[in-house]
Amino acid sequence: MGLVVAHLLLASVMFFSIGSAEMSSKVGVCYGQLGNNLPSPQESVELMIKSLKATRVKIYDANPKILKALKNTDIQVSIMVPNEIINNISLSSQSLSDQWVRTNVLPYLPGTKIRYLLVGNEILSLPDKSIWPNLVPAMRKIRKSLKTLGARKIKVGTPSAMDVLQSSFPPSNGTFRSDISESVMRPMLHFLNRTKSFFFVDAYTFFPWSSDPKNIHLDYALLESTNITYTDPVTKLTYTNLFDQMLDAVVFAMKKLGYPDIRIFIAETGWPNGGDYDQIGANIYNAATYNRNIVKKLTAKPAIGTPARPGWVLPSFIFALYNENQKPGPGTERHFGLLYPNGSHVYEIDLSGNAPEKEYGPLPKPTNNEPYKGKIWCVAAKVANTTALSSALSYACSQGNKTCDPIQPGKPCAKPGSLVWKASYAFSSYWSQFRKLGGTCYFNGLATQTIKDPSHGSCKFPSVTL
């Protein structure tokens, strides 16, 4: 009788382990909301399930409409404590944390499957260092609130960008930045280890590749290489793609601080399907190739893991559900979506990993895998709001360097009454002077890049030459 029970127990443990692994290997999607043309939460949830076959979703707040729309679905949900209140939660009594959990978590359980609660987003990449020492204390308080209020199964973490590493090459040299290693990372890893949570990391191969396309092969970044490998000189581990290299750098950084076994959760990964003229490789072909390959890798059974952690499951979220037209920054920021705002696919993809590749239709050939060579101008966008455009013009002209001298009365680019003309000149002049210092051709969505020279007559618009 005892032997039978033992066999049954062993079988149940094995079943649970396999079931957990299967569930963990599913790929989810990040549901950003920075767009003024996005479908309703209800429609979005239907698209996740039916169109993308997503089984997880990450949102960047605790939006009640989205959490209600996710009720009674099988989608596992990750919500987020906003960056702005981390200091308050950390420095206040436990009651503030309790109140946040009572308001933003408890009302939706158990119908909405909230499984992860992320405290802030890429906090350790922010220039405001005052929040850094409050991150882990806030995580502890949120975790205590969840336990006290009966939601102890929800895992608490925080997403980190790859720039938390001071060194990432070779992977065995992975090391956290000296300004956060002892003060933030060590206590964070202790917390994650003690609570059996995950190290959540945002890992994009696009960014290291696009900043160094001469030395990093595109296929290596797209998980498409068949004969490109890199062998770590210390560990002798061989890498066939950049994604594995990046994750193992994190693994070794954690190991150096004495935490070799904390699981990694891919909080974000993806590839832009479009961008600006001065952004290399952002196109539908590369985005589809990368995301299909990453889904194939992450959903493989048995799990593939990485060279330093073979066979380890890597739960994950692909960024993002939609192209979001109000995201600030370079054009790529508005082009990471799997779907257009009208709900149609940017390219075919199945996050379950079950769709055979042969079922996908042809992709448009990439045209910008090599850097653009030529002149680019920055002009006012067609849909520009006149009041906002006027403010942006004033901003561009206030930055010094005689940015707007040529559009003053009597000068060669003066065009009385034409706000769009003046703004376009100011934007181009500003961008040509400040691009190398981080200036962008965006101006809160009021500007756009063009390769058509807007100069007219004796008025020559400044340009960026690539």
**Which active-site residues does the annotation give?**
122, 268
Q: Are 288 and 349 in contact (CB under 8 A)?
A: yes
Residues near 356 by beta carbon (within 8 Å), at least 6 away in sequence: none
Q: Are 256 and 247 in contact (CB under 8 A)?
A: no
The CA distance from 146 to 21, in Å, is 24
Q: Is 127 helix (H, G, I), strand (E, B) or coil?
A: coil
How far, in whole angstroms, is CA 140 from its chain's centroid?
Answer: 24
Block residue for tokens 């076959």: 53
Residues near 28 by beta carbon (within 8 Å), at least 6 away in sequence: 54, 55, 56, 57, 58, 75, 76, 78, 315, 316, 317, 318, 351
The CA distance from 84 to 87, in Å, is 7
The CA distance from 122 to 118, in Å, is 10
The CA distance from 316 to 415, in Å, is 53
Handedness of CA 81, 76, 40, 275 (dihedral sign): positive
Block residue for tokens 């979703």: 57
DSSP, residue by residue, 348-411 = ---TTS-S-GGGS---PPPS-SS---SEEEEEE-TT--HHHHHHHHHHHHTTSTTTTGGGSTTS
Angstrom distances, CA of residue 143 to CA of 116, 134, 136, 265, 377: 11, 14, 10, 18, 50
Structural tokens at position 2: 């005892």
Side-chain-facing half-sphere of 394: CA atoms under 13 Å: 6
